[in-house]
Structure 1
Amino acid sequence: MEAIVMLILFEIFREAGMRLPSAYGQTLSVVGGLIIGQAAISAGIAGPGTIVVIAISVLATFTLVNQSLVSVASILRITVLLISGFLGLFGTMTCLLALVLYIVNLRSFGTYYLSPLSPPHLKGLYKIIIRMPWGKGKFTDNTNIKGRERS
């Protein structure tokens, strides 16, 4: 329960920081997170370990290149936290398996996202393990260009 409360508080500060001008928003997020984290530890609402894990989790969302995916990552994080809280390690593994199955079946422009791992091709797996120099290899099978060498 403490992780959910702290995660929601950090998400509120992140959203507030995004809506303010850049200099003020970043300052508000950092200072607000520090003050709320210290107050939560002092009041006994959350432990220091929980604060560190949640802070790392929230900071990891800033590494996303497309910032429109931050809300999706936050919803996914809260969902996994709730399921893991109710089902324990079984819930964590179930969420991980569901995420991997989703990514395996995901297609982008008609090509599997994890190609050539998703539908396993022996030739494709060989290309993943042993890479030819940049100019020596052929085009990948996914580019629909047949029989042309790279120049």
Structure 2
Amino acid sequence: MSLPEILLWQQLRGSPRGIRFRKQHAAGPYALDFFCARANLAIEIDGLAHDMGDRPARDEDRDAWLRERRVETLRIPAREVMTDAVQVAEGILALVEERLMAMGKKAPPSSLRDATSPSQVDGEDLSAGPPANEPKERSR
């Protein structure tokens, strides 16, 4: 992880406001900087290299691939994270909350879950444990 990614992860880890994020999340042929499965949102921190060479075209291809799987991409310049990681994290949390409200608090299924780990539709939610009517899984 780059320094801006580390700074942002320090703000997003631990499920702030009950919102869970994954870092360096595998999605088909890509690794997403951060991913919020409940909101079908990928978060990419873009340094200067993202403006050079064929990188803009590659980023567009990646965003299109994710969009086909109903995952939107939020691109944030690394310099913004370096300036104020707390403010950037607050903006991300506000966007996720807006998306969840628009979705009725439950994300629609994403075909990304076919290529990655389970999403909210497979049981990931805000609770710290299983629903009250389900027994906790026993460790072996």
Q: TM-score, normalised by structure 1?
A: 0.28
Larger radius of gyration: 1
Higher relative contact order (CA 8 A, sep 6+): 2
More helix by share: 1
The structure where strand makes up a greater share of residues is 2
TM-score normalised over the length of structure 2? 0.30
